[in-house]
A = this chain, B = another copy of it.
Amino acid sequence: VNSSQSDHPLPNEEMFVKIALNSWNTWQSRADKLFDSLTDEQMQTEIAPGKNRAIYVLGHLIAVNDSMFPQLGIGEAKYAPLRETFVSKPDRSVAELPAIAELRQSWKELSTRTSASLSQLTPAQWLEKHALVSEEDFAKEPHRNRFAILHSRTAHLAYHIGQLIFLTK
């Protein structure tokens, strides 16, 4: 236990992880509420003239967040087929999108499972390399670890929530 320099009851390493997970869960929860608050009609609406529709951003966030499982080495991607439609291709380039109800359900399933899975990693595991970097590169760039992926995905989520909020007020 490495708590000599602090007053709180958690070892310092666990507190660093807890703060980062709190941030993830805060933005995840904001996204949950935001998507719940948007009607199916709003989901089909462009966030701003000529910009992505909300349904595209929902699919995009499912695809990107789902990819964290293989990237972090904590499980399989469950929604990998969405990547082609919602990451590789821009909005309106695919004729048939999945049904909104199906995407809403996938988002909820993914949110719950992601939160639970992320909470299982120990501080030392958070500092291990992620799957997008080779052993050789990680030896030179040890900051390319799981903790960096978590930070990147949290900010990515906040970035898109900043856009989606335009539909609500």
A interface residue numbers (CB < 8 A to B) = 2, 5-10, 12-13, 15-20, 22-23, 26-27, 47-49, 51, 123-124, 126-128, 139, 142-143, 145, 147-148, 151-152, 154-156, 158-163, 166
Contact of A124 among B6, B49, B152 (CB under 8 A): B6
Copies per complex? 2
Q: Measured between C-beta atoms, what is the minimum distance from A13 to chain B in Å? A: 6
CA distance A49 to B142 in the complex (A): 44
A18/B143 in contact, CB under 8 A: yes
Knowing A18-B143, A49-B49, the reply to whether A155 touches B152 (Cβ < 8 A) is no
* Closest B residue by C-beta to A5: B124
Knowing A158-B158, A162-B163, the reply to whether A147 touches B16 (Cβ < 8 A) is yes
B162/A22 in contact, CB under 8 A: no
Contact of A13 among B16, B152, B166 (CB under 8 A): B16
Other 13 A-B pairs with CB < 8 A, given A8-B142, A13-B16: A5-B123, A5-B124, A5-B127, A7-B139, A8-B127, A8-B143, A12-B13, A12-B124, A15-B145, A18-B143, A23-B148, A49-B49, A159-B162
* Closest B residue by C-beta to A164: B162
Contacts of A47 in B (CB 8 A): 48, 166
A contact patch SS: helix
